Amino acid sequence: MELIATANGNSGSTNIQFTNIPQTYQFLKVVGQGRTAVGSGGSNPWIGATIYFNGETNTSNVIWRRMISYNTNNWIDDTSTGPDLQANGTNTEAGFHGIATWWCTNYSDASKYKSFGAYASGTNTGGSFLNATNCGQYRSNAPITSIRFDFSYGLDPASVYSLYGIAG
Protein backbone atom coordinates (compact mmCIF):
# COMPACT_ATOMS: atom_id res chain seq x y z
CA MET A 1 0.00 0.00 0.00
CA GLU A 2 1.52 3.30 -1.08
CA LEU A 3 0.59 6.81 0.01
CA ILE A 4 -0.52 8.79 -3.05
CA ALA A 5 -1.51 12.09 -1.42
CA THR A 6 -2.79 13.70 1.78
CA ALA A 7 -5.32 16.51 2.13
CA ASN A 8 -5.65 18.62 5.28
CA GLY A 9 -8.73 20.60 6.22
CA ASN A 10 -8.69 24.23 7.20
CA SER A 11 -11.40 26.54 8.47
CA GLY A 12 -13.97 26.97 5.75
CA SER A 13 -12.88 24.08 3.54
CA THR A 14 -16.12 22.22 2.90
CA ASN A 15 -14.65 19.64 0.58
CA ILE A 16 -11.42 17.96 -0.34
CA GLN A 17 -10.54 16.65 -3.75
CA PHE A 18 -7.95 14.28 -5.09
CA THR A 19 -7.33 14.89 -8.79
CA ASN A 20 -5.20 13.19 -11.44
CA ILE A 21 -5.29 9.93 -9.52
CA PRO A 22 -2.74 7.51 -11.02
CA GLN A 23 -4.29 4.54 -12.80
CA THR A 24 -1.47 2.17 -11.93
CA TYR A 25 -2.92 0.47 -8.83
CA GLN A 26 -5.49 -2.27 -8.38
CA PHE A 27 -7.32 -0.66 -5.46
CA LEU A 28 -7.74 2.74 -3.88
CA LYS A 29 -8.11 3.38 -0.18
CA VAL A 30 -8.80 6.57 1.78
CA VAL A 31 -8.21 6.82 5.51
CA GLY A 32 -9.11 9.94 7.43
CA GLN A 33 -10.53 11.82 10.34
CA GLY A 34 -12.77 14.88 10.27
CA ARG A 35 -14.50 17.45 12.42
CA THR A 36 -16.74 20.03 10.79
CA ALA A 37 -18.41 23.30 11.70
CA VAL A 38 -21.86 21.75 11.67
CA GLY A 39 -23.32 22.91 14.97
CA SER A 40 -26.98 22.14 14.75
CA GLY A 41 -29.09 19.21 13.76
CA GLY A 42 -30.38 17.88 17.03
CA SER A 43 -28.44 15.53 19.24
CA ASN A 44 -26.63 13.74 16.44
CA PRO A 45 -24.68 16.41 14.57
CA TRP A 46 -22.29 14.14 12.76
CA ILE A 47 -22.26 14.45 9.01
CA GLY A 48 -21.33 12.04 6.29
CA ALA A 49 -19.41 13.22 3.27
CA THR A 50 -21.09 13.07 -0.09
CA ILE A 51 -18.73 11.51 -2.60
CA TYR A 52 -18.48 12.76 -6.17
CA PHE A 53 -16.38 11.15 -8.89
CA ASN A 54 -14.67 12.47 -11.98
CA GLY A 55 -15.79 16.07 -11.54
CA GLU A 56 -19.48 15.20 -11.61
CA THR A 57 -21.72 17.76 -9.92
CA ASN A 58 -24.43 15.32 -8.87
CA THR A 59 -24.58 11.81 -7.47
CA SER A 60 -26.98 10.30 -9.98
CA ASN A 61 -24.37 7.64 -10.81
CA VAL A 62 -23.71 6.77 -7.16
CA ILE A 63 -25.73 4.47 -4.89
CA TRP A 64 -25.16 3.52 -1.24
CA ARG A 65 -26.64 1.12 1.25
CA ARG A 66 -25.61 0.97 4.89
CA MET A 67 -26.02 -0.44 8.34
CA ILE A 68 -25.75 1.68 11.46
CA SER A 69 -25.39 1.02 15.15
CA TYR A 70 -25.30 3.57 17.94
CA ASN A 71 -26.33 4.22 21.50
CA THR A 72 -29.16 1.91 22.56
CA ASN A 73 -30.22 1.34 18.99
CA ASN A 74 -29.38 -1.96 17.44
CA TRP A 75 -28.53 -2.59 13.85
CA ILE A 76 -30.54 -0.68 11.33
CA ASP A 77 -30.85 -1.60 7.71
CA ASP A 78 -31.02 1.71 5.96
CA THR A 79 -32.03 1.75 2.34
CA SER A 80 -31.43 5.45 1.85
CA THR A 81 -28.80 6.61 -0.59
CA GLY A 82 -26.93 8.67 1.98
CA PRO A 83 -23.18 8.08 2.16
CA ASP A 84 -21.42 7.79 5.49
CA LEU A 85 -17.89 9.01 5.96
CA GLN A 86 -18.60 10.47 9.36
CA ALA A 87 -17.15 13.73 10.60
CA ASN A 88 -18.16 15.09 13.99
CA GLY A 89 -19.78 18.46 14.51
CA THR A 90 -18.81 21.25 16.86
CA ASN A 91 -21.27 20.29 19.57
CA THR A 92 -20.04 16.73 19.86
CA GLU A 93 -17.37 15.92 22.41
CA ALA A 94 -14.55 18.46 22.23
CA GLY A 95 -11.62 17.37 20.14
CA PHE A 96 -13.25 14.21 18.86
CA HIS A 97 -13.04 13.56 15.16
CA GLY A 98 -15.14 11.20 13.12
CA ILE A 99 -13.04 8.50 11.50
CA ALA A 100 -13.52 6.83 8.16
CA THR A 101 -12.02 4.31 5.81
CA TRP A 102 -13.19 4.12 2.20
CA TRP A 103 -11.95 1.82 -0.54
CA CYS A 104 -12.64 1.04 -4.18
CA THR A 105 -11.79 -2.30 -5.69
CA ASN A 106 -11.70 -1.63 -9.44
CA TYR A 107 -11.33 2.12 -9.85
CA SER A 108 -9.31 2.03 -13.06
CA ASP A 109 -11.42 -0.54 -14.91
CA ALA A 110 -12.80 1.04 -18.08
CA SER A 111 -15.44 -1.62 -18.71
CA LYS A 112 -17.26 -2.09 -15.41
CA TYR A 113 -19.14 -0.23 -12.72
CA LYS A 114 -17.01 0.50 -9.63
CA SER A 115 -17.70 -1.13 -6.29
CA PHE A 116 -16.66 0.44 -3.04
CA GLY A 117 -17.12 0.16 0.70
CA ALA A 118 -16.60 2.26 3.80
CA TYR A 119 -16.44 2.01 7.56
CA ALA A 120 -17.01 5.13 9.61
CA SER A 121 -17.64 6.31 13.17
CA GLY A 122 -18.82 9.54 14.76
CA THR A 123 -20.07 10.62 18.17
CA ASN A 124 -23.23 12.42 19.23
CA THR A 125 -23.67 15.10 21.88
CA GLY A 126 -24.07 12.43 24.57
CA GLY A 127 -20.80 10.75 23.66
CA SER A 128 -22.45 7.74 22.06
CA PHE A 129 -20.59 6.42 19.07
CA LEU A 130 -22.23 5.74 15.77
CA ASN A 131 -20.70 3.07 13.59
CA ALA A 132 -21.68 2.71 9.96
CA THR A 133 -20.84 0.07 7.40
CA ASN A 134 -21.49 1.01 3.82
CA CYS A 135 -21.52 -0.62 0.40
CA GLY A 136 -21.76 1.45 -2.73
CA GLN A 137 -21.40 1.56 -6.46
CA TYR A 138 -20.30 4.12 -9.02
CA ARG A 139 -22.52 3.24 -11.94
CA SER A 140 -20.17 4.31 -14.67
CA ASN A 141 -17.59 2.55 -16.80
CA ALA A 142 -15.31 5.58 -16.62
CA PRO A 143 -12.10 5.01 -14.65
CA ILE A 144 -12.03 7.10 -11.48
CA THR A 145 -9.50 9.87 -11.95
CA SER A 146 -10.76 12.25 -9.29
CA ILE A 147 -12.69 12.00 -6.01
CA ARG A 148 -14.36 14.76 -4.04
CA PHE A 149 -15.43 14.28 -0.42
CA ASP A 150 -17.97 16.99 0.29
CA PHE A 151 -18.88 17.63 3.93
CA SER A 152 -20.93 20.82 3.31
CA TYR A 153 -19.52 22.35 6.52
CA GLY A 154 -15.97 23.60 7.07
CA LEU A 155 -13.41 21.06 8.24
CA ASP A 156 -11.12 21.95 11.11
CA PRO A 157 -7.32 22.04 10.60
CA ALA A 158 -6.84 18.69 12.33
CA SER A 159 -9.00 16.98 9.75
CA VAL A 160 -6.87 14.91 7.42
CA TYR A 161 -7.62 12.44 4.63
CA SER A 162 -4.98 10.34 2.90
CA LEU A 163 -5.32 8.49 -0.38
CA TYR A 164 -3.47 5.21 -0.83
CA GLY A 165 -2.92 2.96 -3.84
CA ILE A 166 -2.79 -0.81 -3.43
CA ALA A 167 -1.10 -2.97 -6.03
CA GLY A 168 -3.27 -6.01 -5.34
Partner 1 sequence: MSEILTKVIVDCSTGETSTIPLNEEEIAQVENDRAAYQERLAQEEADLAAKNEAKASAEAKLTALGLTPEEIAALR
Q: Answer for the pair 26, 168: CB distance below 8 angstroms, yes or no.
A: yes
Which of 25, 29, 30, 50 is close enough to bind partner 1 by CB under 8 A? 50
Using the rule CB under 8 A, give the single segment among 69-77, 90-98, 105-113, 131-139 that binds partner 1: 69-77
Which of 1, 2, 17, 135 is close enough to bind partner 1 by CB under 8 A? 17
Q: From CA 136, how far away is CA 17, in angstroms rounded? A: 19
Q: From CA 48, how far away is CA 98, in angstroms rounded? A: 9
Q: Is the CB of 57 or the CB of 60 nearer to partner 1?
A: 57
* Cβ atoms < 10 Å from Cβ of 145: 16
List the end-to-end C-alpha distance of the chain, in Å, as a whole number: 9
Which of 42, 95, 111, 168 is close enough to bind partner 1 by CB under 8 A? 42
**Residues at the interface with partner 1 (CB under 8 A):** 4-10, 12-22, 37-38, 40-45, 47, 50, 57, 72-73, 76, 80, 82, 148, 150, 152-154, 163
